[in-house]
Amino acid sequence: MAFKEKGLQMSNTNHTPETNEPQLQGGCLCGAVSYQITNRFSRFMLCHCRQCQQLTGSAFAANIFTSPKNIEWLTGHDKISNYRHSSRDSSKSFCAVCGCALPYINQNGKSLIIPAGSLSEQVENTPDANIFEGEQASWLVESFLNPSVQFAVVPNPLSNKRISL
């Protein structure tokens, strides 16, 4: 797969003094854990497997792959908990306080997996592939394709007849 080296259009982008490469910051919701990485990614995958659905509580995991050495933990490294599935290549690191997904090294040790949602800044990269399509949540596709059920915020009142809570 092609190696991506796109820079970011960020006004407040930080740079490492050594390489002058653009840096991205990320962290968890409660603010205990924060990290910094270089914007140097090899793959961006949306994984629809059943394990990722359970790990995220959502339809799929959005995972960015980079080198295991491409991370600097800024705060809260001691707050990180880890889970490794006993038989599948499923792992998760998360903040022990708020439960948010955080970067982790995959089980073969070759990649650092960054949950895209843990980044505080927008990345220009778009996903390279959807994987485990066969396990995709049945409700996912229709919800994306039907604009009549999309709102910028939670609608109040819920006027669309297709939505009932």
Could you list the residues that contact Zn ion (CB under 5 A)? 28, 30, 32, 47, 49, 52, 95, 97-98
CB of 110 to Zn ion, least distance (A): 16
SS (H, E, C) 30-97: CCCCEEEEECCCCEEEEECCHHHHHHHCCCCEEEEEECCCCCEEEECHHHEEEEECCCCCCEEEEECC
CB of 136 to Zn ion, least distance (A): 11
Q: Between residues 24 and 28, which has the closer beta carbon with respect to Zn ion? A: 28
Q: Between residues 6 and 88, which has the closer beta carbon with respect to Zn ion? A: 88
CA distance 56 to 48: 10
CB of 115 to Zn ion, least distance (A): 12
Q: Between residues 98 and 158, which has the closer beta carbon with respect to Zn ion? A: 98
CA distances from 106 to 42, 70, 89, 138, 152 (A): 14, 14, 8, 27, 35
Q: Between residues 98 and 149, which has the closer beta carbon with respect to Zn ion? A: 98
CB of 92 to Zn ion, least distance (A): 11
